[in-house]
Copies of this chain bind each other. A is one copy, B any other.
Amino acid sequence: MLPKKDIILIKHLVLNKSDEAHKILANLHPADIAEILNEIKNGNKKLFLHMMSSSKAAEVLEELDPADSLQILEEMSEEETIKILENMSVDEIIDLIQEMPTAQAERLLMKLPQEDYEELKELLKMAEDTAGGLMTTDYVYIFSDETVSQAIEDVRQFGQKAETIYYLYVVDNKKHLQGVLSLRELISAPRDKKIHEIMHKKVISVNVDQDQEDVAKIISRYSLLAVPVVDNENRLLGIVTVDDAMEVLEAENTEDIHKMAGITTEEDVILTSTIWGASKKRIFWLIVCLFGDMLSGKVIDGFSHVLESVVAVAFFIPVLMATGGNIGTQSLALAVRGIATEELNRKNIFQFIIGETLAGLQLGIICGALISVISYIWQKNAQLSLAVGLSMCISLMLAALIGVLIPLIFNMFNIDPAVASGPFITTVVDITTLIVYFTFAIYFIDIISPNMVGFARLGLEGVLA
């Protein structure tokens, strides 16, 4: 979001080691410095970090992708690296260490102060995509039997490195989570009250093993600035803050969009280092659908006598398949998003299914009428036009229904509805559309045989064979 000319100027000043650069960097927000670093050649990035304090450098690295941060740190000496790590927040160090080869990570960890070492070792055991993997241990807790003035003193003393001090989590002497108090409430409370007299006893907390998407949704749902993470005995382990929750939501949205396009990936990186890395996350649905679409070919095979008799029937296969696929994908997008945002619930689900099907029928009538007219102008064959138009109408209605039903059914069986990707829906719709089309074609078009009903049966038997 920095203007491009500012970026160029700052780059220039730093690369020439100008004195002014120190001052400019000190005044820039870490997120902006990170943006400039993304535009700099790898070898030159460390020049930037050398021009600022370790604490500022730590903040800048926290804004970068862990993989990029690691690359910069590898160019620096080990002492420098340790100095910067000591200034980073715990959750960010974890992200970084997870990118390193184990031996290097262990070497670095050993050089950190003993207590940091042990804390980090504990955190590294947590699964990356859970509350435990997301949380930070830089937070403030206060004891339920303290007085307000003792608690304020605690906040003063331990609040410096904490990620947030606006929520104060109250624990007993075994660190069981007892309650919560906002800083606002603490400072306006009488100084001699005990914390347990004024705290909120109902605390929204998450379990350390809970999925990170759930954690983000809870923070969003209850409009929290942070949520405490506890173990199965309700002992306080850390907190997840709202800025991390926002990042998770963005990453999960990316994952949803990718899944809907039939890309199966656990990582949210867009540039993979090898071509096969880019291919392998796409191959699964491609192959599944390839076999599915062979069935479409089988349908055409089953009705090939129709094509042999009236080749113009083939001209409308693409438009029917494509329009059906489009409607199916639209309905899928509405259903997947409705499930994700919880707008679809037990109360309105039938209304949604019926509404979508009727919308599909309405769009089918419009598109069917249009394609009838166009095909008549083009081919001057009234029977063909009738078959094409009616097929469009019926297949669009079916496509809309398929597009909503499949993700809803997946969801019922607790399968992520985004897995019912666009490619999958399109394949199912393609097969349906072709069967509808050829059936109408046989009924309406004078094909060699006069016995039309028999012909339709023949076609369907051909498909099933």
Contact = CB atoms under 8 A, between A and B. Distances in A.
Contacts of A327: 282, 286
A207 interface: no
Interface string A355-398: 11011001100110011001000000000000000000000000
Contacts of A261: 329-330, 332-334, 422
Contacts of A336: 257
Q: Is the interface of A mostly helix, strand, loop or mixed?
A: helix
Contacts of A362: 275-276, 279
Interface in A255-305: 256-258, 260-263, 269-272, 275-276, 278-279, 282-283, 285-287, 289-290, 292-294, 296-298, 300-301, 304
A120 B345 CA distance: 34
Nearest to A261: B333
Contact of A370 (B269, B275, B287, B355): B287
9 contacts: A39-B347, A220-B243, A258-B333, A261-B332, A271-B348, A275-B358, A275-B359, A286-B363, A297-B318
Interface of A: 1, 27, 29, 31, 38-39, 156, 159, 165-166, 183-184, 187-188, 202, 204, 218-223, 225, 242-243, 245-247, 249-250, 253-254, 256-258, 260-263, 269-272, 275-276, 278-279, 282-283, 285-287, 289-290, 292-294, 296-298, 300-301, 304, 307-308, 311-312, 314-319, 321-323, 325-327, 329-330, 332-334, 336-338, 341, 343-348, 351-352, 355-356, 358-359, 362-363, 366-367, 370-371, 374, 422-423, 426-427, 430, 434
Given A263-B330, A329-B262, A271 B352 contact: yes
A186 to B, nearest CB: 10
B1 A221 contact: yes
A356 B271 CA distance: 9
B257 A256 contact: yes
Contact of A315 (B220, B297, B325): B297
B319 A318 contact: no
Contacts of A29: 202, 204, 222
A156 B188 CA distance: 7
A307 B108 CA distance: 68
Contacts of A323: 286, 289-290, 293
A260 B254 CA distance: 13
A374 B434 CA distance: 21
A434 B278 contact: no
Pairs of residues from A and B, 9 with the lowest C-beta to C-beta distance, nearest first = A296-B318, A261-B333, A223-B243, A293-B319, A297-B315, A278-B359, A326-B423, A293-B322, A253-B253
B319 A363 contact: no
B270 A343 contact: yes
Contacts of A220: 243, 246-247, 250
A286 B243 contact: no
B366 A283 contact: yes
B356 A430 contact: no
A297 B283 contact: no
B334 A258 contact: yes
A271 B321 CA distance: 27
Contacts of A321: 318, 321-322
A367 B286 contact: yes
